[in-house]
Structure 1
């Protein structure tokens, strides 16, 4: 079979969509392209199975529909797999219908977090042939390709489809305990097939060429109420991590065959404990700690001072922490499991070890007052001007379908739009009402966070600690252009449905009565544990005022 994997044209006047390898979604004025690890693995699996594979990412290649149609006409693929997310799913429904009209014999398969949460919806609203339900869509896709190639009817478990005009609800793809499959069986993505050089525009990473990998899918914590990957792609029981030996083997492969200068491990959080210790020792003992820089996502409190030192010795460069707020009640509401008062200590331990600290924060939480929201700005500014945080990323919180945050926002009437106005979740404007902040004020706070980069104290800290070569100057310049790009991203004028768009008194009272409750009974699976650790559910506290219908 001839198989096409990639992305169809997804053009927008708002900018370049960051769709691949992204837990959130955003249109960027300054284009950024992240390598789609699982999609790349899917393409590689199909190629290894003996099928002809074409990789065409219209977003990274800046292809319009005329060019993409011409490619489809020339290649005539039998099947096309691509990934979607909520803000562009309606656009992709139209894309599917367009392609099915022009190329009716081409089977179209769609995957991603939104369609894993609502697989029936896409089958009802487009002419798509198959919807993969779940985050291990590389394994599901190779099963489907082989299934079709063998002439079987229907589809393997976890792939929804139609039969006689009726939608067949076919469960969720997952690794069963009695199966002989393992995440370590996945091949390393074929970087030449998947055109790795199209994914080098990532200003947070310093080395070139740079590569994204995932040592786990997705996060061992797995409870943050806003994270759509934790709940739609990899819900409780779905977390799996590769062995440190398997992960190191991919690092070695990328260095030896592609001259990798920096690798970013995009597991939700790098596996801690014995796993991390073993991986670091493999890097040190092999000498690859001297050949490549390694960066990753990290949780506050996940490792101690001694582990930071070991990581630095193993070649680690940048740690990306998702703090999300400087307000403890928000951290608790999001079920982050972080003590804000310890953040300075953790950052200092990492910096003392010689590591670069990258902090992500969000604005626009319904329950935050202006003073609460300013705690985020003040914390970020203190950390950055003290030289404890090098990079600060600010965004507007988005309640994606499939998350506890979305379910609560719909139930409590927090959304500024209708619950299926998915295109409004593109981060070009706030999606939720707040206690006392207008949409413009929420976006203004995002811009204010980026202005910290222009503070003379931060500039001095950055210059004295991070600029040591001409390469550092170029890296700083690229980062600065991205900062101004983000400031323009959050300068867009939001749509308005009223003068203030604030929560009602009744909504506020009920919300404040339940701030202690993350509103979920999911579980976290700690690295190395065989069974999930139950998360204690706290019953809701009833507000004095009635719920607004």
Structure 2
């Protein structure tokens, strides 16, 4: 039996390929452990390597299917990748009609029935955590007995109950990164730890998020109960990455690294004890009202160089609408403490919220100016399926949802109280200012570390940005 796991293309991404598709790598590890033949076909990486030539990537995909003729094809998809998921499913059924096509990931989890209706070539959808469910499918268990799937029964679609979440987090195998092109995924990049050029990769040490931010779909996939890998597990994975891939940087991709302060301290203590802090640097995401000076100092001692905050807005009204459960004062305090201990600050901000006024927008810009982060990200609100804001405002945009382009980049969807033309002008001006500030900070910081390499990277980034802009114009016409 041969299993192919496919990573679809992301037409909107101009980040390069800093983040490997760990979702399917976790699945692959479980499949490998049971002795099945499995391989990963990474369309997204191929797209990047082939200068965004979609036709060429499709040709390579068809060639792979003809040569390998897999028995099962699993495709992992987030919302911007869903149309490519459909395309791949149709390719599979055309070339290998008897192969079973299984879709999983964020978008199929949240809109499982719609996915099955939209693409008849998909035989089954895996909802939520996929490791155990996918294996149960491969083992030939009867569909009606497999928890967490939607499957076809004649012309009908049957939805089975969900399985309980994986409680023993340390029972989860390390992702099968050996099946990925880790040489590409660990190339030097400024996007892993944003604003810092280094060779590294990302890891997850938790699953679940206890919060219900109105714009975020994270709790819909892994639940609101946070489950943790032990400090020992985390250290073992770090040492594995250092030994095998010679990384110099790690991005902890958990939504909130220090949701359990005792565990965060324990991880840092082990990093220091084992001398890992002399081999790598790292970055974490934190919630502003869940940090204190002690954990920030410990993080710095352990090798952390940057803390990423979802400050989101300088307007308390907007923060409340986002259900952030945080006060503006908390955001200022977190930024001040982080600066005090000498860690870099990454500030993420969202504009375009329903009812947002020009004053709300201005408050966000004033907040950004006051905290002076080392790097900032300004994003227009994206209405992700399953979130409260999506459910509240779904009817206001087209029935033919262009997940690839409109959802992510379309400024025509305006929910603010600012006239559309004015909002677009404000957003573009602010975005341009932040981009210039980020570029200046990037050059200054990295020039001190390696002047020659930084000059080359800047030239590459400029070329890539132009290429990305041209691609987006072509894709979204």
TM-score w.r.t. length of structure 1: 0.76
Q: Contact (CA 8 Å) 1:131, 1:160: kept in 2 or not?
A: yes
Judging changes above 3 Å, is the alpha-carbon distance between structure 1 residues 298 and 203 closer, same or farther for their aligned structure 2 residues? same
Instruction: State the SS of the aligned residue for 2:336.
Output: helix
Find 1:251's aligned residue among 233, 238, 242: 238
Find 1:47's aligned residue among 23, 32, 37: 32
Instruction: State the SS of the aligned residue for 1:109.
Output: strand
Other-structure match for 2:98: 105
User: Greater share of helix residues, 1 or 2?
Assistant: 2
Judging changes above 3 Å, is the alpha-carbon distance between structure 1 residues 320 and 491 closer, same or farther for their aligned structure 2 residues? same
* 1:189 equivalent in alignment to 2:175: yes
Deviations 1:45-93 (A, max 9, x none): 1111101111111111225211110011111111111112334424432
* 1:61 equivalent in alignment to 2:41: no
Deviations 1:521-548 (A, max 9, x none): xxxxxxxxxxxxxxxxxxxxxxxxxxxx
Find 1:160's aligned residue among 150, 153, 165: 150
Judging changes above 3 Å, is the alpha-carbon distance between structure 1 residues 378 and 467 closer, same or farther for their aligned structure 2 residues? farther
Find 1:397's aligned residue among 361, 381, 397: 381
Judging changes above 3 Å, is the alpha-carbon distance between structure 1 residues 308 and 68 closer, same or farther for their aligned structure 2 residues? same
Judging changes above 3 Å, is the alpha-carbon distance between structure 1 residues 318 and 104 closer, same or farther for their aligned structure 2 residues? same
* Residues 413-424 of structure 1: pairs in structure 2 closer than 5 A: 415-418=396-399, 420-423=401-404, 424=406
Runs (4+) of structure 1 exceeding 6 A deviation are: 458-466, 489-496
Indicate the larger mover: 203-212 or 346-355. 203-212
Deviations 1:389-440 (A, max 9, x none): 1111111111111111111113xx5x34338554421224353432123167
Instruction: State the SS of the aligned residue for 1:418.
Output: coil
Q: Contact (CA 8 Å) 2:305, 2:344: kept in 1 or not?
A: yes
Find 2:293's aligned residue among 289, 305, 315: 305
Find 1:316's aligned residue among 296, 304, 310: 304
Distance in 2 of aligned mates of 1:443 and 1:185: 51
Instruction: State the SS of the aligned residue for 1:160.
Output: strand
Find 2:78's aligned residue among 76, 85, 89: 85
* Residues 220-369 of structure 1: pairs in structure 2 closer than 5 A: 221-230=210-219, 232-237=220-225, 239-271=226-258, 272-369=260-357
* 1:380 equivalent in alignment to 2:368: yes
Other-structure match for 1:441: 423
Instruction: State the SS of the aligned residue for 1:473.
Output: helix
Deviations 1:219-278 (A, max 9, x none): 3x4221111122x212334x3221122111111111122212111111111133101111
TM-score w.r.t. length of structure 2: 0.87
Quote the RMSD (CA, aligned, Å): 3.1
* 1:406 equivalent in alignment to 2:394: no
Instruction: State the SS of the aligned residue for 1:60.
Output: helix
| 1:304 Cα deviation from its structure 2 partner | 0.7
Instruction: State the SS of the aligned residue for 1:270.
Output: coil
Work out the number of aligned pairs and report it.
461
Q: Contact (CA 8 Å) 1:144, 1:155: kept in 2 or not?
A: no
Where do 5+ consecutive residues of structure 1 fail to align? 11-15, 18-26, 497-549
